[in-house]
Amino acid sequence: MNEKQTILIIEDERSISNFISRALNANDYRTIPAYTGKEGLSLFFSHGPDLVLLDLGLPDMDGLEILAQLRGLPREVPIIIISARDREAEKVRALDMGADDYVVKPFGVSEVLARIRSALRRAERLKLSQGIQRDSYQIKDLTIDLAKHQVLLAGEEVHFTQNEFKIIELLAIHAGKVLTYDFILEHIWGPYGGSGSNQILRVNMANIRRKLKENPSEPKYIHTELGIGYRMLDD
Amino acid sequence: MSQRFKNLYHWLNIQFHRIPAIPRNFGVMALFLCCAYWISSILISHTGGENNSALVFVLAVVLISLLTSGYFYGVAASIIGALFINIYFMEPYDAFSLSRTGYPVAMLSMVVISCVVCALTARVKKQAIEAVHREKKTRALYEQNEKLNAEKAAIQLESERAAIRENILRAVSHDLRTPLTSISGTVSVLLESPEISPKNLTMLSDIKQDADSLIVMVENLLSVTRVQDGTMPLKMREEMLEEVAGDALLTTRRRFPDCHVELDLSEDILYLPMDPLLVKQVIVNLLENAIRHSGDTEHITLRLYRQEDWAVAEVRDRGRGLSSEVYQAVKAGQPMPRSLSGDSTRGMGIGLSVCQNIIKAHGGFFTAENHTEGGAVFRFGLPTEDQPA
């Protein structure tokens, strides 16, 4: 790595901000703490960080508003949300507004680090591909060939229905990112496909899991974000 | 005195209205016409010649229309009255005659006057009845309004109370979680730092463990307050049980990286309504229970299956099994015995109570038993949708 990557931490609780900073510093990241939303925005413009950690419960402004402002910019910077355990609606909204990922309070250091690494890697990949879609994805021993419309698990073909394949394809294209139920439903079944219930998606997912011999307690390819959506692992 | 009259009047009124309408109205008409005839006869025998019988009959017609219902009896009485006057109280007596000068006019005007009076009284009566009716209606509306107001106030008070409770819980959970997160996080940063001596390392890992179990304890306390007083509804939503169980296992594994728990999935797809965070907590508690108290961390299994209309999750260990105390308490659905709050079993009592409460709030069942091949089995079932409520 030529230069240290910079992470902006917008979090009003100093003790939490401090330990995240320490952990990130120990892992070779440069950190900038901001304790209010306004400070966070101005530090963002003056420092141009590579990633933003954003607490949604800030004292001076709504975290979602900051998210909207950052997402309105031409430069796409990965944003990871910090939110409380029981505020799922808020998390889903943040993800639908373009946040890349989230961590839930109380969280551990290793968790935050893993999410940051994944988000940065994804951003890097997007920059390299310049929007050109790849025609095959590889996740561990799983190969998803979009051109041939084929999924190979350890070299052997696994048969999926049309919709199941579309879900896997969508997750693979966005590997590393949490996709909300609504996002997936809209992409596979159209804007009214879900009609208020995501049962169809959940059942498809359960079938995919069975065909991939995935155990939700030891996800190898697809991680379940309970009550939020799914994420394809990217390493 | 006047009270007695009032009572008497009331009683008469009731008795009077007990008689069926048609005989009553005819009776009234006949009675008053007879009276008028009788009075007129007396008057004519005393005064002779010109008489006031017309006025007497008009008075009778007024009274008849007051006491009967509708126009018919009043109008009929006025015509009969006019005939009576003509026949009995006018020359030539005892014969019908229209020959006398001006008599047709007098008779016609009497009928018209009687009819008008009769119509007027009928209208007044109708209005009186309407007024009474209106008053009744107004009173009923007023009473209903009062009742609604009282209900509204009660509901408002209840919802305010629930809102306050929710706010306090949120504040408490935030204020406890934040420092605990930072304690646990800071310690884990220190744990990875190279400058820490081995002796301090164990102390730090103790701090970390305690902070982590406090976090779990806080979550348990929050859930139990939410569920136990029943004022806060469960956040029900359709959820895949295997995803909830998987998430619970991931959480448990993060806290206890060294132990081995196996998840055994059902072929059936168990998609059912639940409060996923609470159900996850039940599974986390049961797994933690098995890991910490069974004395066996190698062969714990979490099995999901469908049993008739229940979606069942079962946590089994191969450890020392349940004491009869715990077994009895779970069976009776009672709080855990006090002896379990001792140091060695810290958290077990509250953990199991939380599980029982959460499952009860879902309308499910919760059992605990010793397996014939050794070890304890905790099992809970949640009603699936196709179950009759």
Annotate B361-383 with DSSP letters as a single string: HTT-EEEEEE-TTSSEEEEEEEE
Is residue A31 pLDDT above 90, yes or no?
yes
Mark yes or no for CB contact B238/A227 under 8 Å: no
- The model's pLDDT over B29-83, given as tens digits with 9 standing for 90+, comes to 888 888 888 888 888 777 765 567 777 888 888 888 778 777 788 788 888 888 8
Q: Which domains does chain A have, with CATH numbers?
A: 5-129 (3.40.50.2300), 136-232 (1.10.10.10)
Q: pTM for this one?
A: 0.68
Q: What pLDDT, on the 0 to 100 scale, is given for residue B231?
A: 58
- The model's pLDDT over A43-59, given as tens digits with 9 standing for 90+, comes to 999 999 999 999 988 88
Is residue B346 pLDDT above 80, yes or no?
no
Do A233 and A175 form a contact (C-beta atoms < 8 A)? yes
Residues of chain A with Cβ-Cβ distance to B189 below 8 Å are 19, 22-23, 26, 109
Q: Which of A11, A19, A198 would you mutate first to test chain B, the one with the most B CBs within 10 A?
A: A19
Give the least confident one: B1-5, B246-250, B270-274, B332-336.
B332-336
Is residue A1 pLDDT above 50, yes or no?
no
- The model's pLDDT over B285-326, given as tens digits with 9 standing for 90+, comes to 899 888 888 777 778 899 999 988 899 999 998 888 877 777
Minimum Cα–Cα distance from A214: chain B residue: B265
E-strand stretches of B178-277:
237-240, 261-264, 271-274
Q: Provide the 8-state DSSP code for B204.
A: H
Most confident stretch, A125-139, B18-32, B64-78, B90-104: B18-32
How far apart (Å, rounded) are the C-alpha atoms in residues A95 and A228? 9
Minimum Cα–Cα distance from A85: chain B residue: B277
Determine if residue B333 is left, alpha or beta; phi over 0 gives left, psi from -120 to 50 gives alpha, anything else beta.
left
- The model's pLDDT over A172-212, given as tens digits with 9 standing for 90+, comes to 888 888 999 888 988 888 877 656 678 888 889 989 988 88
Residues of chain A with Cβ-Cβ distance to B215 below 8 Å are 106
Q: What pLDDT, on the 0 to 100 scale, is given for residue B1?
A: 60
Mean of the pLDDT values across residues B223-250? 80
Which has more confidence, B357 or B333?
Answer: B357
Q: What pLDDT, on the 0 to 100 scale, is given for residue A33?
A: 95
Is residue B367 pLDDT above 50, yes or no?
yes
Q: What pLDDT, on the 0 to 100 scale, is given for residue B386?
A: 60
Q: Which domains does chain B have, with CATH numbers?
A: 2-146 (no CATH), 236-383 (3.30.565.10)
Minimum Cα–Cα distance from B268: chain A residue: A206
Is residue A2 pLDDT above 60, yes or no?
no
Mean of the pLDDT values across residues B230-241? 78
Residues of chain A with Cβ-Cβ distance to B186 below 8 Å are 15, 18-19, 22
Mean of the pLDDT values across residues B123-146? 90
Q: Which of B167, B205, B234, B269 would you mutate first to test chain A, the one with the most A CBs within 10 A?
A: B269
- pLDDT-above-90 percentage for chain B: 13
Q: What pLDDT, on the 0 to 100 scale, is given for residue B102?
A: 65
Q: Taking the CA of residue B376 as centre, how many other CA atoms within 13 Å lie in the half-sphere pointing to its CB?
A: 23
Q: Provide the 8-state DSSP code for A190.
A: -
Minimum Cα–Cα distance from B246: chain A residue: A217
- Distance (Å) from the alpha carbon of A108 to chain B's nearest alpha carbon: 6
Residues of chain B with Cβ-Cβ distance to A16 below 8 Å are 178, 181-182, 185
Q: Nearest CB to B276: which of A19, A111, A226?
A: A226
Q: What pLDDT, on the 0 to 100 scale, is given for residue B389?
A: 46
Maximum CA extent, chain A: 55
Do A157 and A151 form a contact (C-beta atoms < 8 A)? yes
- Round the average pLDDT of chain A to a whole number and report it: 86
How far apart (Å, rounded) are the C-alpha atoms in residues B311 and B274? 11
Q: What pLDDT, on the 0 to 100 scale, is given for residue B277?
A: 85
Mark yes or no for CB contact B254/A215 under 8 Å: no
- pLDDT-above-70 percentage for chain B: 90
Q: Which of B242, B263, B304 would you mutate first to test chain A, the one with the most A CBs within 10 A?
A: B242
Give CA angle at B227 (B221, B232), nearest 5°. 115
Mark yes or no for CB contact A219/B246 under 8 Å: yes
Q: What pLDDT, on the 0 to 100 scale, is given for residue B343?
A: 46
Is residue B266 pLDDT above 90, yes or no?
no
Q: Nearest CB to B185: which of A108, A216, A227?
A: A108
Q: What pLDDT, on the 0 to 100 scale, is given for residue B369?
A: 86
Do A145 and A151 form a contact (C-beta atoms < 8 A)? yes
Which has more confidence, B151 or A139?
Answer: B151
Residues linked to residue B382 through DSSP beta bridges, in sequence order: B311
How far apart (Å, rounded) are the C-alpha atoms in residues B190 and B184? 10
Is residue A70 pLDDT above 60, yes or no?
yes
Is residue B208 pLDDT above 50, yes or no?
yes
- Distance (Å) from the alpha carbon of A12 to chain B's nearest alpha carbon: 11
CA-to-CA separations, A172 to A77, B120, B200, B255, B337, in angstroms, rounded:
20, 91, 45, 30, 51
Q: pLDDT-derived band of residue B245, with 50, 70 and 90 as boundaries?
A: very high
- Distance (Å) from the alpha carbon of A22 to chain B's nearest alpha carbon: 7
Mark yes or no for CB contact B276/A227 under 8 Å: yes
